[in-house]
Amino acid sequence: MKRDKPKKDHVAAPAGMSGSFQGQLANSWYTEGGLPGVQEPTAPVIRSRVKIDDTFKKREAHNIQLIADLTKWTNWAHAAGGDKAVEIHRSRGKMLPRERINMVIDAGTEFMEINTLAAWERYNNEVPGGGIVSGIGVIHGRECMLIANDATVKGGTPFPEVTKKYARAQAIAEQCHLPCIYLVDDDGTPSAGTMAMGGALFKNQAVMSSMRIPQVACVLGKCAAGNAYIPALCDESVIVKGAGSVVLPTSGQKTETPSPDSGSGMIHTSKTGVVDHL
């Protein structure tokens, strides 16, 4: 490693500092630079010389392959449930979860996704991302945790990875005091291994509520079985007219098109009070 020597003759004292400061800079790691026409000290330039031998080339190739693999499987997760499932989803006038998130977060900001590769190399790789999208986004200038179901992945059926991602996102929200936004679109039919963890997620909602961490639910489609508790436990909730439904079906019952008898938005915003806004 080679460090450029400070240029003693060209270091100007910052405004308001005495001339003796110039001598101090001469013996420091500062050099002249920065913006054109501005003589203020900046960090030194550090140069390195890398020996490009066989070991270097081998390690470089290994890391390039790791980047390619990460890109490949990230694209797998972002492809959701596949072309056919996405087409059916869009035919219902719905957005994909990441599109919904990008509509919610502030323009010009980036969504920091977490646990993108959940369920990788499980279930024959047919459950991208575990069936939900979670991460941190900025909304009205405030960092928030967002959790969005992906209804294109097995109809939104909660696999074990769903509950684990929920729990992880809630833990981060609690530790960092981040408001939680749930974008719900899930038929609620649990797979093996999810029932035991479901109660813990609702407990987490109650704990965050006691800590005055804001929680908002947007019911964008089916919200059945265990998921039906999510909007009920939030501070504010919104349901999409004609598309959203909140129900607790009996064992084995499936919920199809929302109607007054299947927990529609009209029922929950005018009679039951489960949801606040239609």
pLDDT along the chain (278 residues), means of 10: 49 50 48 55 74 92 96 92 88 91 94 93 89 94 94 80 89 96 77 58 91 93 77 88 72 50 67 79
Burial class (CB in 10 A: 0-12, 13-18, 19+), 85: middle
**Nearest partner of 150 among 108, 196, 101, 106, judged by Cα:** 101
Beta bridge partners of 31: 42
Neighbours of 25 (CB within 10 A): 20
Residue 108 has which token pair?
């010009």
CA–CA gap between residue 78 and residue 60 (Å, rounded): 27
Alpha helix positions (H), 79-159: 83-91, 97-104
The backbone torsions φ and ψ at residue 235, rounded to the nearest 5 degrees and listed phi first, read -70, -40
Query: Would you list the domain boundaries of the chain?
Result: 2-47, 80-272
CA angle 228, 202, 157 (to 5 degrees): 50
Q: What is the pLDDT of residue 29?
A: 46
Radius of gyration of the chain (CA): 26
**Nearest partner of 240 among 184, 195, 156, 187, judged by Cα:** 184
Task: Compute CA 51 distance to the chain's CA centroid, rounded to the nearest angstrom.
Answer: 40
CA angle 83, 84, 90 (to 5 degrees): 85
Q: What is the pLDDT of residue 104?
A: 94
Sequence-distant (≥ 6) Cβ neighbours of residue 179 within 8 angstroms: 139, 142, 144, 145, 173, 213, 214, 215, 216
CA–CA gap between residue 254 and residue 41 (Å, rounded): 68
Q: What is the pLDDT of residue 250?
A: 57
What architecture (CATH level 2) is domain 80-272?
A: Alpha-Beta Complex (3.90)
Q: What is the pLDDT of residue 30?
A: 47
